[in-house]
A and B are shown apart, each in its own frame.
Chain A
Amino acid sequence: MTIDWPAIVFSEQTQGRIRALCERRFGHTADAEVASDYVLEHLSSGDWAQCRKFTGKSRPETFLYTLCSNLVEEYARKKFGRIRPPSWLQQLGDTWLTLWKFICLERQPVPVAIDRLAGEDDALRDRHALTDMVKTIKARLPWCGQQSGEIPLEEYHQDTPGDDDNSDDGLEPLLLLLHQLVLEQTGEPSLSAWQNPDTLQALRGAITLSDEQRLILRMAYVDGLKFSAIARSLNLPTHQPARLAQRAVAHIREVLASRQLLPEGGE
């Protein structure tokens, strides 16, 4: 597909977009300017090799957006390193991780980080929930966001190849914790059933969710995206994500209840 990438990338529109992307990522700082240069340099390198991978499956400007987004993140990783967050944060989901990265690692101002994750007019996430998340992170990691002083080494370690693998380590403690939370307002927890490995195995077989349901549950309940934002991002009818999520939760509830893993009040 023949596209004049230099003309597109160096157009006033694209230059403005790249600048805006970098300023949202790093604020109005020198880093934003350096990141803009980094993006332009890498887009044009190798005779526009990255751009020329375009085959026409998407619109050119959206493809260009994905490349720019990747390059901005690549710059951030080179600048701030790739540091592994605490395991408790990893279990809480990508929104928590992103907040941690912005505030603790890159030391961005809290309002800027919240603005970014809440989206324009708070279209993506609830601002108050994000504020609560920041409070939790700061309470558990007192060094987070401080402009001076060393970050305790035990708080993090550098990523090593293979660390991204999803392992089942820690699954049972997570389930126990979550189960307790589920039951905190509804009745007496019966943790013994949850501690039984056979129970977990049986649940794995009994809970059947489609990929779309798993994606929507994750976006909505783990990462706090509004259902309207999910619908827009997946091009679904406005209330389809909420319906799919409700069906999935009802199914999960039914499976747990049928194995007496939920008290009657929680059903």
Chain B
Amino acid sequence: MPLSKELIEQKLNEKFSGESFVFTEHRNELTVSLDKKNIAALCKYLKEEDQLAFKLCEDITAIDWAKRKNRFTVVYHIFSIKQNFRLTLKADVDESDCNIDSVSSVWKTANWHERETFDMYGIHFNNHPDLRRMYMPEEFEYHPLRKDFPLMGIPGSLSLPKNKN
């Protein structure tokens, strides 16, 4: 049976009864918005349920909405090779409580994606095995993809080598 919006909706509501999922579609792409406390359990279910089999985690990132109440949205793109179906998961994270459960125990590949998101947005991933900066030097204090970080950076935040001659 090919995967469709209805089937996923039905399966998720069966498994996680009492939780509210919001299903949206834009340009034929299905997106599920959920509460951040469910993310690890839901990802585990989506991966291990035989009919869904979302075995490939393509990407994890975040969006900074700047002035919104829930400032960040963490976005997961997962793909089911078996069903040839792509699904987007979204969970809101507020700045005052800037953390979300890690899914690196579900997909190994999530490790680096979450590190990158931490580096760029400063969102903390709980239970992550190795949460370090991905790109920027460890001494760097800021999170560059936040909207309040200027494009040209903050002068003096990154060092240049000293000229010896």
Are A and B physically bound partners? no
